[in-house]
Structure 1
Amino acid sequence: STVVNSGGITSFTISANTGYSISSVTGSCGGNLSGNIYTTNPIYSNCTVYASFSSITFAPTVILSADNQNLTSGGNTTVRWSTTNNPTSCTASGGTNGWAGNNKSTSNGSFYTGTLYSTTTYYMTCSNSVGQSTDSIIITVSQQAQNPSVTLTAGSTNITSGNSTYITWTPYNATSCSASGGSNGWSDYKSINGGSFPTGALYNNTTYSITCYNSSSTIPAYASVTVYVNNNNYNIPPIINLTANPTYVTSGGSSYISWNPTNNPTYCTASNGSNYWSGTTRSTYSGSFPTGALYTTTVYTMTCGNSAGATTESVTVNVSNQNTYLQPSVSITADRTNISSGENTIVRWYPINATSCYASGGSNNWAGTKSIYSNSFNTGTLSYSTTYTISCSNYNSGSDTKSVTVIVGSQQNNNQPTVAIATDEESVPYNGTTFVRWYTANATSCHASGGSSGWVGTKSIGPGSFYTGSLTTNKTYTLTCTNNFGSASDSTTVSVRAQTINNPKPTPTSLVLITSSVDRNQPIVPTIDNTRPKPGDEINYTVNYQNIGTGAITNLTLRMDLPYEVNYMFSTPNNPNKSGNTLIFNLGTLKANGQGTVTVRVKVRDNIPAGTNLNFPATLSYTDPSGFPQSVNANVSAQVWNEPTPTTVIEDNNTIQLGALAFLGGANFFPNTLLGWLLIILFIVLLVLAIKKAYYNPETTTISKKTTTTHS
């Protein structure tokens, strides 16, 4: 209360609590309100002042968040929101999976996004009588590599002997495609835009295959189709036409398996797979099957049969986010990298994603095969600064090499060479093959001994590899490498398992002969000729093959392993699958009494030392008429050399160069061109004139003291 004199006035300060405002000020005193100051009229008797207040309403706020704001393609998350100031409605927009709409909670809430394949923005607007507020959140989705795929079909998968059909291919996400098998020149690079190919007349069942690649994926796409040839118009086994759609899914995704058998199967059964696919009798007509959720790559197999036989087909559904192809890596350390002479330390290595590791350099038997898991090695007493090197690789053909050097006082580095040698397989079947691989350090030259055909001789200081060819007995491969400080050797042995004798059907038969030749100047000859090329020379490497049996052979494949010391130029046929210096020709089917030739042109690398052996192994693999796999081998070799200076005869101060006719003393004695014969005749005439002049002309023929002329 306030006391005033009669007729006086007074003022009051009106203050509202937080969240409230002054609504009105009244009473019996009379007066007026200015801001929050209330001033009375003149007061002549007791009076009362009343103040009224009302609550304040603010515009709402909304805040969006996500459990995970960065996803990979196919991932999911939960979007959450919270509000303030009592909104009366909240409306969502954008987003996925039913996010948009005006039915969102006006307090706190959450929402499951579902599977996301692209970056997505979620919006929410909340409002009340005062105003509104909007917030948004972006879920970023990183794109996975798009794997290639390809479909391959035949216009007709069953034809009569001598007829033809068309093969059609359709690639997706491919940057290159390569075909194999087939007939009529099918084996070659194929258009990434798809196309069709005429098979030509077919007389035997023929399988056409295609593989497609792209630069963003390590998983190639493969498809094949078989055209069956009915030689007797009898019933033939069913074709299942088993497919999957899609063939690539993300982890947790699903696909459908479909089949459409032909040739009237009487039964069809399923195996492998998922979701109770296996062990169930399937319709002998067309059908489909849901795989259910898949978390690993899964193979679905179906077998259908009739009175003519049974056929089994498989299809694979690839699941991403598993079985990632990772490159190997390795790190290597030493507990102490600086020690005094006579001390030792521990070397440690840490491989990742490796299937094999080889060590080189070092001391105390460090060189050789090493564990693919983290491990350690005692250097032993050191008197010289020494470098320890380790190389790790995996089945993806990747490798990584690291080194660590232990410095010993002020001593010089130990530059003794080291060598480590190993084989891809320590045990092979009878007639099996493998590769020998070696790694060296500090070496200037290497020489091989023991082993199989073509191994003995000069070898590169590596890393290097050698194809053994077919082996029938145990072989030990030894490599000795040297430098100015000394030499080192290592060996590896390939064990050959006992031969397994199959009993093929008596008829029809096949017998394949294979010969090969190396020739510098001639096209194709049945023997080795001119096998001493010089650095920079071009060589024709020829392989002839012939089927002298009574039945056709199929799936004919020729593998040529060119030596490291030559470079591939071109070949006939011109469509080999090339990997390094290995060429693979898919030659299809060879009829009884059929024959063929493959020729490869190579060039000897410059600076190859004289005496280096060049080995050209070839392996011809095929399926005989009884269905058994067979192979035959051939090998030819050449030796790099430097030809001597040509002989010069000086006659009456006129110089005659005979080097152009040097082939007369070699294997090419007789010329094979008209120009060659003319040169022979000219040479004989000159020789007769020289002899006549020597015996009947008083002038004397002089022989250069620096040159010796030999007549034979």
Structure 2
Amino acid sequence: MKAIFALALPATASFANTIQVPAQQATIQAAINGAVNGDTITVAPGTYHENLDFKGKAIKLIGTNGAGSTIIDGGTSNYVITFQTSETTASVVSGFTIQNGVGSFANSVYALGSSPTLEDNVFLGSAGVSIYGFSSSMVLQRNLFAGWTCPGGPEIAIVAFVNSSSPSIKDNVFANNHCPALDMTLPTGNAPDVANNTIVNNDVGIQVDARVNASLQLYRNNLIYGNGVGFMVNNGQPGNYATLQNNLVYGNTTNYQGFPDPTGTNGNISADPMLGGLSVPDYHPDAGSPAIDAGLNAAVGAGETDFYGAQRIRVGTSGSSIVDIGAVEYVAAQPTVSLSISASSILLGASVTITWSSTNASTCVAGGAWSGTLALSGSQSITPPAGMLTYKVTCTNGGASRAQSAALTVYPPPTVSIAASPSTVISGQVSTLTWSTTNATTCTKAGAWSGSAPTIGSLVVGPTNAGTYTYSLSCTGPDGTTIGSATLTVIPLPQITLTFTPSSIPVGGTSTMTWTSSNTTSCVASGSWSGAEPTSGSQTIGPFPAGLYLYGLTCTGPGGSTSNTQGITVFVPPTATITVTPSSVPSGTAVSLTWSSTNASSCQASGAWSGPISVSGNASFTPTASGSFTYGITCMGPSGGTVSANANLMVYGQPAASLTLSAPTIIAGGTATLTWTSSQTTSCIASGAWTGALEVSGTRSITQSTPGSYTYNLTCTNPVGSVETSAKLTVNAPASSGGGAFGLLDLSLLAIFASLRRRV
């Protein structure tokens, strides 16, 4: 199983004309954009999610605390760093962990016609090519490449160069990659210099395309161990092979493939390199390693240091100043360093204890978040400032250095800044809330808004009703919770109502004008009135001549001004007349309706007729039903007002009458009641036993003192004709006290006589 190694590399010193990230520029790209040739950009520890473009600038980009604590994360959206504007080796990237890039040719760095310097970086693996050089002669030194996988292809490797490229690749470590470490597919005449690299546990160590003459390509002092194939030549032809000198290739499944094994020639050896510290990881060769003092000094540049920053050429076990094979020089008594902090995170104001120890060291110095010379072992209590801090201890023994780092996060209390702009608006307008926080991880809205909120943002609020709104933001971080708030004042708009009661009046009439307002301090009249008016009131207006009268009112308040104009119509009232000729007729007789109006725009029939009618006219008709009928008209004026008129028609049918007695027979001196009724009549006359004009219906009490038979006649008339009816009353004599049989006989005879008379 292959492990992925992480390495804390030493930070590179700062230079003049320094731009600090994030202290002076929030992002690395912003710092690059603002830099000029010769500037240095220093980046504080942290993770920066960016995709960078050097834009052709000869500047240095330095992680102040080294690759162990400063990360550039490409977010799988593009190359992490792009060089495509003819950059030279004066464009430097040093002291970063570079991860999570993606691109058509590479993931980490894409160099097109550019030759930057990449040193002391860690390239953490993903799938694909890490660095791709197209016509690039970049400098790669003291970098770590770990954990990469490759999908395959003839030019797929962690580091690949094509076309006119002559890179310098020295003192790097390629460890534990499911990939070829290096690929060179170059035309004749290119001279890459690949020297003093340690390449362990990869699919392929180095692969070279030798279809053209590759003899100018130099591969020297490389330690290639534990790979699937150590050194592979593709498309090789005799005479085209690259130049291999003083390499140690051992323990690979296949040490050399595609060309003759050069072991035993030109200083190339094949023996166990004795890398006992790989699991740490530590890439130093152990004592007795054949890599010690077996290199070629000509491959080492002046002042060159090894992977850990130690001096390259020095006296080794052979007693000679000969460089070792691989990325790391052997140190007879290598120092060890341990470093711990009593807590990995604390709140601002708290203290921690840093404890360190070393062996085989002569001096120790502090780095990162602290500084100064340290004892070879000890402890120190500190109260650190807020931030993500890295404390480093580097111990040396004159020949080798070892460093350890420990991270400490100090959480300050969160801060919240929130404001409404503008803070005062008129109802219907909007305001923008803007907020930002520091040291907060979550925020919650309260007050006039609710829900969760990002730790930085803006939001347009409104339009809202009049009032005062408080927008609170409660933000929580590792060191507690802080609440900020912003107040928005919404001033109401002025409002006016203006009405007339009634809304239209006739000439000579009056109306009551009533007005009210809200959110106002003053009002001014216009139109048919003028001058200052109270903010609410009423007034009687009129009488006026006919016309339309406009009354305006403008009221002002803190929220501005508003106006309302209403009109009242003064109209000449309409008139209307209607007649029916004749006004009374027998059923079946023709009659004529005539009507007219003034100042009317429409008329409506009612009563015995209905529907819209013209404002004047006549109509003839013959009624067949008898009865009393009312013909009405209602006329409306164009500007208001109505008037109504009626005409009555009496239509007579055949008259009818009845006459009854309450008792047909009474005793002389007694009383009976006559009751009569009639219909379709205009008058009634009594005759017979009673006389005189009568009402068309009624009752009358009658008394007869003389025995006999009495006839009461009733004649009722109308224009059609008359009708007669009668009622008869029999008046009997009172019975005698001694009548006997004769008396009874007389009465019986009288009754028979009266009956015979009625028949006659």
* TM surpasses 0.5: no
Q: TM-score range by the shorter chain?
A: under 0.3
- TM-score under structure 1 length normalisation: 0.18
Structure-2-length-normalised TM-score: 0.17
Structure with more contact order per residue of length (Cα contacts < 8 Å, sep ≥ 6): 1
